[in-house]
Structure 1
Amino acid sequence: MVLSSAAVRNVLLLGALVRIPFFAGAVLLALHVVQTLHGSYLQAGVLSTVATVCIALSGPWRGRLLDRFGLRRTIMPSILVGAVCWSIAPFVDYVPLLILAAVAGLFDVPIFTVVRQAVIAATTEENRQPALALEAVSVEMAFMVGPILGVAAASLWSTTIVLLCVQWTLVLAGILMWIRNPPLRSAQAAGRPAAPAVPRRAWFGIEFVALCVGASAAISLLAASELTFVSAMREFGAQQWLGVVLAVWGFGSVVGGLVYGALHRSISTYVLLAALGAVTIPMAFAVGPISLAITGLLAGIFCAPTITASIDQMSRIVPEGGRGEAIGWHSAALTLGNGIGSSMAGIAIDAGGFAAGFTAAAALGLTLGLGLALLVGIRERRRLAVEKPAAVSQVGA
């Protein structure tokens, strides 16, 4: 049982706790602009986009620093910059808030990279899949709980105070990470000196890029579906049930993640992406909240497994000394996919309603899933064709 390991338990618990304020902070920024600063939704969207882009840009270079200098030396500047920025940002006008959020984003504590790298370090290839599945489930739970808590708190107290408290919770989470200093490499976990950082050219190739594209497509599909749920429920005249339908969708993802973690074999990320696209199609034919919830439950089952498989597959492609940067690129791809999916869904919904939104999301998953599987398969066959004659000639010699 993967939870029998104290190291895995501690990392998963830490990851679950720090991600709740992370997701709460995203929605609080928008609420603060609209409610407290009396800005427009456009301004709120620009702020969210700038903060998201800066966090995405920080992923690869912060991950590279983790590989070269370790956790404590990497996140100490993040803690200091975050403490200064978020002590000031809730009390200033829009433009200074935008600048401070951008700076804080560039020095963001790499929560997702640290947690995933620590989980990989604390596991073997045999129990890594269930551990990563639990990690993906914890992300789903935090994504469901964080925004709800943020909105509830903002309805009771000033967004200034709530934003300050939530962002300082993330600063304190960074301090806790610094104190705990979980091993990021299996050698450190075993008490041995860690190997030096691995050059990027050793792993940054077609297979890794294809994996990042697949992960980005999966998040694009999910972001597009999330926005399309809103459109569908408005079209049904049942906006009051939106939270319930989204919760059913999220529950499907939790179930799928747990089931995938219990499997004794991995499944290709690209196969799961194509399957996620296929099971998204029935949502386009929903005729009311109940049918949308049922089809959403089915579609949700493939959400967490697709992301889990991409991280597991990445850990097999990238040597241990390069995984910090690799996970940073992977996280940046996920962030980019989130923005692409929302924009794609908006265009599709304006053109053909919620059915077009779900259809566009499904087509993206199916097309890229099958296309990437074909591309990687052809490359693997060519590699084997080259290696086989070489192996035969060595035997003959």
Structure 2
Amino acid sequence: MPFAPYRRVLAVPAARTALLLGLFLRIPMFAGGVVLTLHIVQTLHRGYAEAGVVSALATICIAISGPWRGRLLDRIGLRRTVVPSIIVTALVWSVAPFVGYLPLLLLAIPAGLFVTPTFSILRQAIITAVPDAERRTALSLDSVGVELSFMLGPVLGVWAATTWSTTWVLFAAEMLTVVGAIAVWVVNPVMRSEGHDADAAHLPRREWFSGAFLAVLAAAAATTLVLSGCDVAFVAAMRGYGAVGSLGPVLAVWGLGSALGGLVYGALHRSLPVFALLAGLGIVTVPLALASGPVSLALLSFVAGLFCAPTITATVDAVSRVVDERARGEAMGWHGSAMTAGSALGAPVAGAAIDLQGYAGGFALVGLLGVLVATSGWATVRLRRRRRAAVDVAAAA
């Protein structure tokens, strides 16, 4: 695998800073989600369903905040957008770990609505920092960073929560996210190329909220639907094997496959179509249903993981290319909301299939849904292109 493209990206100081900031911000973020569940179950003595309600409410609020906070990035800039997030997050999480279940549930609302739009900020900074030819490589590195954070954050969170009080571990994890947001404010990464005036950044939504953009959002939602559905199916499979203790290593192999796939995709000389990668993700997910034990599941998950990071990277790259950079903040917010919606749908969809057909049904259903969305999206895009070509021919005649 050629590493020259990655050396070129890492040689750019702004890109290198954004990638490092991403690791610093996301590890405590992923740790905090796991610690919050453990805190509700172990310290507040509530059920997993009640912990799920808190997570679901926060997820809904994060999905709502994505486009809104992204639009603020476009219109008033990074620092003025991030300051309210820093203040609200610090206030909420200085109280939430020390209260009962109902106040914690209510505090999840402002916490979700005012979450720092780190994914949107960092991806815009990376896109702006590198030439167009290096964009896919840089975004692939960012996706690999997300995978590393996803693998490290929960492990560190569970270790800390089983060593010390979940109250103080939750407080520490969320305060680290506040420190990360302050670091973003201090660094203030450039998110718009030279020549674009931030005060004139407003671009009417009707000029960019197009069919092509909606198609990318559908692909992003389908991608996370497949991934979150697999999360549930992995748990069901390992319980069925009587090997729940090996769940962590299996998920780590899955993540390793994703990280390797992201690196390979970033080193390619040309991009691959979003719907082709989504179809590939769905196709390699279905065989997970054939696993007969932890070893075979791990091997199949490594293959399935190869398409995870590339598909997510392709959706981010596509958004950056179909939307003018003056509206890129809001567009990235919509992209994040689509991925959040897909994640929220994946678990219940896979869960329903697991209840009927076991873990094999969960893997098979979400994989087939990924292929279905990819096929439908590809057909829709081709149809729109043919219609546009027909209109152009008629206009020329």
Structure 2-normalised TM-score?
0.96
Q: What does residue 300 of structure 2 align with?
A: 295
Give runs of ≥4 in structure 1 deviating > 4 Å.
Answer: none
Q: Which residue, 374, 380, 385 being the options, matches 1:380?
A: 385
Q: Which residue, 43, 55, 58 being the options, matches 1:48?
A: 55
Q: What does residue 39 of structure 2 align with?
A: 32
Q: Which amino acid aligns with 1:253?
A: S
Q: Deviations over 1:196-232 (max 9, x none)?
A: 2211111102111111011100100011111101111
Q: Which residue, 3, 13, 18 being the options, matches 2:10?
A: 3
Q: Which amino acid aligns with 1:59?
A: G
1: CA distance between counterparts of 2:257 and 2:394? Answer: 47
Are positions 1:232 and 2:237 aligned together? yes
Q: Which amino acid aligns with 2:54?
A: L
**Does the CA contact (< 8 Å) of 2:201 and 2:327 recur in 1?**
no
2: CA distance between counterparts of 1:376 and 1:3? Answer: 35
Are positions 1:207 and 2:216 aligned together? no
User: Mind listing any 5+ residue stretches in structure 1 that lack a counterpart?
Assistant: none
Structure 1-normalised TM-score?
0.96
Q: How far apart are 1:234 and its partner, in Å?
A: 1.3
Q: Which residue, 138, 147, 150 being the options, matches 1:140?
A: 147
Matched residues, number? 389
**Does the CA contact (< 8 Å) of 2:120 and 2:332 recur in 1?**
yes
Q: Which residue, 76, 94, 106 being the options, matches 1:87?
A: 94
Q: Which residue, 306, 317, 320 being the options, matches 1:315?
A: 320
Q: Deviations over 1:292-337 (max 9, x none)?
A: 1111111100000000000101111000100000000000010111
1: CA distance between counterparts of 2:372 and 2:197? Answer: 44
User: Mind listing any 5+ residue stretches in structure 2 that lack a counterpart?
Assistant: 1-7
Q: How far apart are 1:135 and its partner, in Å?
A: 0.6
**Does the CA contact (< 8 Å) of 2:18 and 2:126 recur in 1?**
yes
RMSD over equivalenced CA pairs, Å: 1.2
Are positions 1:160 and 2:167 aligned together? yes
1:117-132 maps to which residues of 2 (within 5 A)? 117-132=124-139
Q: Which residue, 318, 324, 327 being the options, matches 2:332?
A: 327
Q: Which amino acid aligns with 1:286?
A: A
Q: What does residue 268 of structure 1 align with?
A: 273
Q: How far apart are 1:341 and its partner, in Å?
A: 0.4
Are positions 1:337 and 2:325 aligned together? no
Q: How far apart are 1:98 and its partner, in Å?
A: 1.1
2: CA distance between counterparts of 1:289 and 1:31? Answer: 25
Q: How far apart are 1:288 and its partner, in Å?
A: 1.1
Q: What does residue 356 of structure 2 align with?
A: 351
2: CA distance between counterparts of 1:386 and 1:293? Answer: 51
Are positions 1:66 and 2:73 aligned together? yes
Are positions 1:256 and 2:261 aligned together? yes
Q: How far apart are 1:389 and its partner, in Å?
A: 4.6
Q: How far apart are 1:383 and its partner, in Å?
A: 1.4
Q: Which amino acid aligns with 2:58?
A: A
